[in-house]
Amino acid sequence: MKFEIRSIKKKYGKKEPLTDASLSAKEGQCIGILGKNGIGKSTLLSILAGVQVADGGEFLYTDDGESFFDLLKDRKTLSEKVGYVPQGTPLFDELSARDNLLLWYDKQTLKNELSGGVLDMLGINEFLTVPVRKMSGGMKKRLSIGCSMAKKPKILLLDEPCAALDLVCKQSIYEYLLTFKKMGGTIIITTHDESDLALCDAVYILKDGVLTPYDYDGNIDRLIGML
Q: What local confidence, expressed as pLDDT, does residue 28 receive?
A: 96
Residues 26 and 28: their CA atoms lie apart, in Å, by: 6
Domains and CATH numbers, the chain: 2-226 (3.40.50.300)
Q: What local confidence, expressed as pLDDT, does residue 163 receive?
A: 84
Q: Which residues are within 8 A (CB) of 224 and not within 5 positions of it... i.e. 6 or more apart?
A: none
Residues 26 and 124: their CA atoms lie apart, in Å, by: 29
Q: What local confidence, expressed as pLDDT, does residue 221 receive?
A: 78
Q: What local confidence, expressed as pLDDT, does residue 41 receive?
A: 97
Could you write out the DSSP letters of every residue in 2-47? Answer: EEEEEEEEEEETTEEEEEEEEEEEETT-EEEEE--TTSSHHHHHHH
Q: What local confidence, expressed as pLDDT, does residue 192 receive?
A: 87
Q: Report which secondary-structure segment, H or E, holds 174.
A: helix 167-182
Task: For residue 131, give the DSSP letter.
Answer: B
CB 44 within 8 A of CB 80: no
Q: Give pLDDT < 50 ranges for the chain.
A: none
Residues 147 and 10: their CA atoms lie apart, in Å, by: 28
